[in-house]
Structure 1
Amino acid sequence: MNYKTKSLIYFSCFLAASTLYYVVDQRDDFQNQLNSKTYVETHFEDTGDFTDESTKDDLEEKSK
């Protein structure tokens, strides 16, 4: 193998290792955030029950 081929292989290995380290580190940070006491769960209401009368009035006026 010549110098360029070896350099390309070493660079590819370095890039793969760096990416893997970053992904694992981000996953660990995310898990720590989920397990922390400051994590807040939210409950979202169904928007099907919400009615906005102003939108209906605007649509009725535009259709006339």
Structure 2
Amino acid sequence: MKVVIEQDKCVAAGQCVAAAMDVFDQREDDGIVVLLDEHPAPELADDVQQAAAVCPALAIRIEE
């Protein structure tokens, strides 16, 4: 699994961090998403998929 984020789409809602804090974080100055792990471990797959599903801006894409 490869995670791709589009920071220009991010609205800083923080839903991704709530769903998968080992994979996503937010910049302190504006809350925009930061990708911590482009290739997360298989056991994090469900959390990452949930993060992508709840992102209000659709800024997270998962490539298999």
| TM-score, length basis structure 2 | 0.22
Structure of larger gyration radius: 1
- Greater strand fraction, Structure 1 or Structure 2: 2
Q: Which has the higher contact order (CA 8 A, sep 6+)?
A: 2
TM-score between the two structures when normalised by the length of structure 1: 0.22
Which one has the bigger helix percentage? 1
